[in-house]
Amino acid sequence: MNIRSILSGSFFLLAAATAVHADKYVRFNQVGYDPASAKRIVIIATEDCSGLPWSVKDASGSVVASGTIGKSLCGKGVYTAFPYNYEFHFDNVKNEGSYTVDIKSIAPFSINVKKDPFKSAIQSTLHWLRVTRSGSYDAIDHGVSHLGDTASKVMRRSCDTDTNCNKVWYVDTIHPKTLNVVGGWYDAGDYIKFTLTASFTAYMILRSYEAYPEIFEKHNSRTEYVDVLDEAKWGLDWLMKTMPDNDTNEFVIEVASEEDHNIGDRLPEYDTTIQGRYRPALSALSQPQMGLTAAALALGADVFGKLGKNDIAAKYKAKAELIYRRAISKDALKVPAYLDAETNPFYQDLKPEDDLELAATELYRVTGEKHYLDDARHFASIAKTCGNISWADMNQFAHLRLYEIDSSAVKAYVGEDISDYIEHSKQSGNIWSQPVDFDWACLYNMMNVASTSIMYEKETGNHRTHEMVQNIVDYLFGTNSWGESFVALKGVHSIEHPNSLIYRLQCDKFPEGAIAEGPSDIKSHTEEDAWFGFDPACEPTAPFNTGSGIFYDQVDDYVCMETCGYGVAEGLFLLTLMCKTESAK
């Protein structure tokens, strides 16, 4: 048994509650339910459970809810590996406390009802983001690292034509430059820093604070700010370095390269190879990265300005306007830049309009200058709908932000995407209400669907997404085929083995706040599984995989278990919105 399982005193009880019989399994939100929220238990089984009595008992043993299991909702299929699948609700249980659920022929298990059930998980996500800090003496679970980024050599890309400018990056020996790009966050399980995902992360953190500032506290921050603002400022201050004030022809889209993957296992503070000490800064006037960076800095200017930090706000605002101005200038790149390594492209985002729409909207909000609003409307008309919602497809986030100012410009796009997600969540056999297909990192996409749905409800007053949102949040915390919380939390049956060098090399430390990329589609996983080095058939999650979606809590499985900082920030935003929504009930 892994040492992390031993560290959690309640692991055995929770494991028993989750997999109590070889033929019947219960799935529920292991973090807990808000008193006012919907409360659902799902049973997946190899035999018919119709008619089985169930009850919910309070601490005194009194029955507060009861019933019998109805008909199976669906059979084995895309979303479940079992032929019998059931659900029942106990929504009327509204008093806070720990309750025991009894289902005939299944061992009793406990569920919790409490106010702000996700508050501790919110703090855990901020804990993880601090772990991913680079160049910080305040990082958690590793020492100060990559201080050599204070003098990163600038690299540019070779271009064969206007449409082929991504393959080869080289150090400019004719006009050599170095830039100070120390700081920021490591992107994922490696030690590369990407401007696109860092700006997305900073933006999500700021939106979280903006949505519900009262929920945040000070635990790890050594500054005057609560943890969430301290983390946001850490990211914003790094983004300020992406374009030097005295050289607007440079914009850093990435620090380090694919060579990071060839150095071997090491903690970041021991990254002392040539590649680790002299990491390059890839520079290009690339619109997606510049647009999203300008958006984050503009929002930062607004947030810190409202806190009375006028000097800080003025700097963020000036840099946001500078970067945006260069992003829409004539000499900005026609083809967005990214690192196209030999095996795969890193964060390839070929559509800049969504990022520029968001930047223009945030700049309008902080400046009040109408030309920014005109730009936002223009870019929205090009971006339209997107399907997915991620660092690469910011359409829904951008549209909903513009919706606050001019709903007519984006109403049709927002409504169309929302309708598609609801329709998908109600597909036959979709017992978990997944709004999207299985794919690499589909869990992150699901969290974004939930967040934008909450914003949609707030802006329109239309609550048609409510059930889907609740089911997505429950899915995140254990109401899924595998019965695991995809957020690493102590005291619950959660993931334990994120694809992270920091925790691979320090197995005595618990990866608090990590959020797995979650289940994957078969095709994506199969294309990568030669690199994993484990036998899938021996994994405890294997029996719950379907012909469409699979999941393994394995440190080498970077498809399912890589934790990306932007995904953790997405989780932070969703949980903050949920707490805010539930506090209003």
Q: Which residues contact 365 (CB under 8 A, 6 or more apart)?
A: 298, 299, 302, 405
| pTM listed for this prediction | 0.94
Q: What is the pLDDT of residue 319?
A: 98
User: Does the pLDDT of residue 428 top 70, yes or no?
Assistant: yes
Query: Residue 102's closest CA among 70, 50, 67, 51?
Result: 67
Q: What is the pLDDT of residue 22?
A: 52
Q: Mean pLDDT throughout 438-451?
A: 96
Q: What is the pLDDT of residue 162?
A: 65
CATH node for 1-115: 2.60.40.10
* pLDDT tens-digit series, residues 243-300: 998 889 999 999 998 888 888 899 999 987 776 678 999 999 999 999 999 999 999 9
* pLDDT tens-digit series, residues 275-285: 667 899 999 99
* pLDDT tens-digit series, residues 148-191: 999 999 999 887 766 677 778 888 888 889 999 999 999 998 99
d(CA 153, CA 149): 9
Q: Which residues contact 470 (CB under 8 A, 6 or more apart)?
A: 37, 38
* pLDDT tens-digit series, residues 90-145: 999 999 999 999 999 999 999 999 999 999 999 999 999 999 999 999 999 999 99
The sign of the torsion formed by the CA atoms of 322, 376, 567, 536 equals negative
471 touches 8 (CB < 8 A):
no
User: Does the pLDDT of residue 387 top 90, yes or no?
Assistant: no
Percent share of the chain, pLDDT over 70: 95
The CATH class of the 119-477+564-583 domain is mainly alpha
Q: What is the pLDDT of residue 20?
A: 44
Domain regions of the chain by residue span: 1-115, 119-477+564-583
User: Does the pLDDT of residue 342 top 80, yes or no?
Assistant: no
Q: Mean pLDDT throughout 236-249?
A: 94
- Average pLDDT over all residues of the chain: 92
List helix spans (H) across 159-224: 195-211
* pLDDT tens-digit series, residues 494-551: 999 999 999 999 999 999 999 999 999 999 999 998 889 999 999 999 999 999 999 9
Q: What is the pLDDT of residue 50?
A: 97
3-state secondary structure of 205: helix
User: Does the pLDDT of residue 2 top 60, yes or no?
Assistant: no
Q: What is the pLDDT of residue 584?
A: 80
Q: What is the pLDDT of residue 275?
A: 67
Output the DSSP codes for 105-159.
TEEEEEEEE-SSTTHHHHHHHHHHHHHTBSS-TT-SSS----GGGGGEEEEEE--
